[in-house]
Structure 1
């Protein structure tokens, strides 16, 4: 059922309109006494989920008992990050999701069904896992809040991914990421219908029908002035709300180009991107736009580590971004990758397969470290002197020396593809 829908690539939904929409939708649900909100973490700061969570708190007050950011494999939010994203919401309401230890399996998709869904690529059973607070917390309302945008693992982010991945467990996350990797990132990105989403939809239909979940989905884009604005807000309790948001997101967030790009410069906001695990969205979201022999420069002033998780960081440092074939061979020969298929999928996604060069300009990681994971290195200060984000506009730029570049200020907000490479 759809409780609210408004969206167009031409409108801007104000904070006041968002609050009115949230209140209107919640009015339709009737009295609720124990509410859980599952918003994204700081890596989706621009989703407007912080403001929506604040509106939910204003509506329910003491009936809002728990807020669990959908961390997935990410590090927990700091107090400062919570204050920045969720200002006005009491910190004592926030709970931390532990993806390795604090989950339960709510159902298992048999191997033969997984094989059917993945067209024979994977035949291992898949456990649908949720944080215990989500599945066993006794809430009479679970509000899953998030932004629909193209995504490298599941095609289009959000909907039930917020639960099964955002509050999921290591086995379920690892295997779902691996399904996306073997399907091929180019076959998944920007597509709502794909094997990973089919797994999650099967789990929703068969394992969590009794959970009182309502999805609040946003679509965010830039206006003509370059400011981020809300283009769509959709609230509902089934897949239709996701489909509405996807339709709009593909109009707002998908940049289809007539020619491949020779040189792309991506800036990673240090407040959002501190690892290559997250920062490699600069690669995922641009790879279908890059020309053969092209160059991708990643300005990463906040880069401190490779993995959000210590174990994954260790695996990235051990194997590096060595390409799909090498990773698949390493999986066959190494138990540590077999037990961390999500990390293996990340290693596959994060290589250009030799088709274009990747140059990282990190704030806190050494040249030796960058080169050890099979990327090129450039000094951040020197590159910022040449490619100053304050002087660049989104899209095509002509530099003072005549060089043509394509600039992206936040790769998490969209998908870029050369028309001839994207087979819609």
Structure 2
């Protein structure tokens, strides 16, 4: 089953068009128990909240509907976030995924296959875990909802990633992230058929084939914080991912005509409370920043480094000290070997000295930020010059003649210097 719905104008699909698409996708079938797996608040601009709410109201009168936000390693959503993202769905319909406790092992992607697809850079099998709820045979429909957008670990986000990482366990998350780090983020971002994608494709085909999963994928942009849904792709095949990727590559990859000397990235405090999430500002701009340039991150809401206390502790201990240094530390330290996702994050988040990274903060101390090898400055001082409410997306020339490139939300795209690509 494959159904593709594309917006006919630059404004994208209307809410009514989306509602009709979702209604059509149910094909008049009767379900008794449905599990919806949407992203959490960190993907607010995916429009998955509206989609989840619509499905709930289409199904609730004749089926039990449970909702399991795909938290991955993120902290659980607050009641306020649930209300803002999902609307009037009762709180008792929501389940919380615990990536350390709630999972079952469903299989292993063979070492021989992993070695082949990583060009020999990783030669171990990858254990695959999912939340045990996904294996509950009483569900006769599982709706995996989410956004396809460039991603640092897998190339393009969503599809099988929503299940094996968003609802995955420690082994799967750690090993998949480390494969991505070892293979090289810049070799993968914005592309399909990366090694991590192939691992998850293999696992979906071999370990979840019998589950009644239907993917509901969006491609969105959010200029001025207003969500525009350019496409909705619904089905149980890989084709829905491939069609969404084509549209996302068109809508979410932004080529700049020259290397950026200074990028200023704003992190919405409602979405970004940790550098674990906020470092999308690093991942998504690194291919556009010129050698010797600077990335200034306006991190008003940053209060910590890791979403998880253990990972926060590891980031504070080792810091963003560069790829080669982290690889050496990984070989020597058991705590990093047991938390490969954290090691991968440290690798992804360093510029390796090619450009300067400065976090402007107000809810964490400057010394704490400097302690993890980032530069730091006061948020309140930084926004006097770089006011996100006055800057336009893209290149801006300030009153003093300084040219900067402003990005209002790094999670919604990938920026690349076309001369380096």
Q: TM-score range by the shorter chain?
A: over 0.9
Cα distance in 1 between the residues matched to 2:260 and 2:313:
33
Deviation at 1:9, TM superposition (A): 7.6
TM-score (norm 1): 0.97
| Counterpart residue number, 1:394 | 393
Deviation at 1:363, TM superposition (A): 2.4
Cα distance in 1 between the residues matched to 2:351 and 2:45:
27
CA deviation vs aligned residue, 1:319-364 (integer Å, no higher than 9, x gap)? 0000110000011000000001110000000000000000001121
For the residue of structure 2 that corresponds to 1:179, the secondary structure is: helix
Asked if 1:134 is matched to 2:134, the reply is yes
Structure 1 residues 48 and 64 mapped into 2: Cα distance closer, same or farther (>3 Å)? Answer: farther
| Counterpart residue number, 2:244 | 245
Structure 1 residues 7 and 160 mapped into 2: Cα distance closer, same or farther (>3 Å)? Answer: farther
| Counterpart residue number, 2:377 | 378
CA deviation vs aligned residue, 1:68-106 (integer Å, no higher than 9, x gap)? 000000000011110111111111000000000110011
Deviation at 1:236, TM superposition (A): 0.8
Contact map agreement 1:9 1:248 (CA 8 A) in 2: no
Asked if 1:195 is matched to 2:195, the reply is yes
| Counterpart residue number, 1:182 | 182
Contact map agreement 1:215 1:235 (CA 8 A) in 2: yes
Asked if 1:209 is matched to 2:234, the reply is no
Structure 1 residues 418 and 330 mapped into 2: Cα distance closer, same or farther (>3 Å)? Answer: same
Deviation at 1:10, TM superposition (A): 3.4
CA deviation vs aligned residue, 1:177-210 (integer Å, no higher than 9, x gap)? 0000001010011011100000000011111110
Structure 1 residues 320 and 407 mapped into 2: Cα distance closer, same or farther (>3 Å)? Answer: same
Cα distance in 2 between the residues matched to 1:14 and 1:20:
10
Deviation at 1:27, TM superposition (A): 2.0
TM-score (norm 2): 0.98
| Counterpart residue number, 2:109 | 109
Cα distance in 2 between the residues matched to 1:7 and 1:102:
38
Any stretches of 5+ residues in structure 2 without a counterpart?
Answer: none
Deviation at 1:163, TM superposition (A): 0.2
Cα distance in 2 between the residues matched to 1:90 and 1:227:
25
Asked if 1:257 is matched to 2:250, the reply is no
Asked if 1:414 is matched to 2:384, the reply is no
Contact map agreement 2:59 2:65 (CA 8 A) in 1: no
Structure 1 residues 226 and 77 mapped into 2: Cα distance closer, same or farther (>3 Å)? Answer: closer
Deviation at 1:64, TM superposition (A): 3.7
Cα distance in 1 between the residues matched to 2:110 and 2:307:
30
| Counterpart residue number, 1:338 | 337
CA deviation vs aligned residue, 1:100-142 (integer Å, no higher than 9, x gap)? 0110011111211211121211111111111001122521000
TM-align CA RMSD: 1.3
Cα distance in 2 between the residues matched to 1:9 and 1:405:
30
| Counterpart residue number, 1:78 | 78
Contact map agreement 1:300 1:362 (CA 8 A) in 2: yes
| Counterpart residue number, 1:228 | 227
For the residue of structure 1 that corresponds to 2:26, the secondary structure is: helix
Deviation at 1:65, TM superposition (A): 2.6
Deviation at 1:222, TM superposition (A): 4.4
| Counterpart residue number, 2:276 | 277
Cα distance in 1 between the residues matched to 2:396 and 2:283:
22
- Give matches, 1:19-30, under 5 Å: 19-27=19-27, 30=29
- Give matches, 1:304-343, under 5 Å: 304-343=303-342
Cα distance in 2 between the residues matched to 1:234 and 1:208:
20
Residue range with higher mean Cα deviation, 208-217 or 19-28: 19-28
| Counterpart residue number, 2:402 | 403
Deviation at 1:392, TM superposition (A): 0.6
- Give matches, 1:62-101, under 5 Å: 62=61, 63-101=63-101
Cα distance in 2 between the residues matched to 1:11 and 1:229:
6
Contact map agreement 1:285 1:415 (CA 8 A) in 2: yes
| Counterpart residue number, 1:348 | 347
Residue range with higher mean Cα deviation, 274-283 or 185-194: 185-194
Contact map agreement 1:4 1:25 (CA 8 A) in 2: no
Contact map agreement 1:9 1:252 (CA 8 A) in 2: no
Cα distance in 1 between the residues matched to 2:185 and 2:45:
24
Cα distance in 1 between the residues matched to 2:5 and 2:403:
40
Deviation at 1:398, TM superposition (A): 0.9
Cα distance in 2 between the residues matched to 1:226 and 1:100:
34
Q: How many residues align?
A: 420
Contact map agreement 1:144 1:162 (CA 8 A) in 2: yes
Cα distance in 1 between the residues matched to 2:303 and 2:222:
29
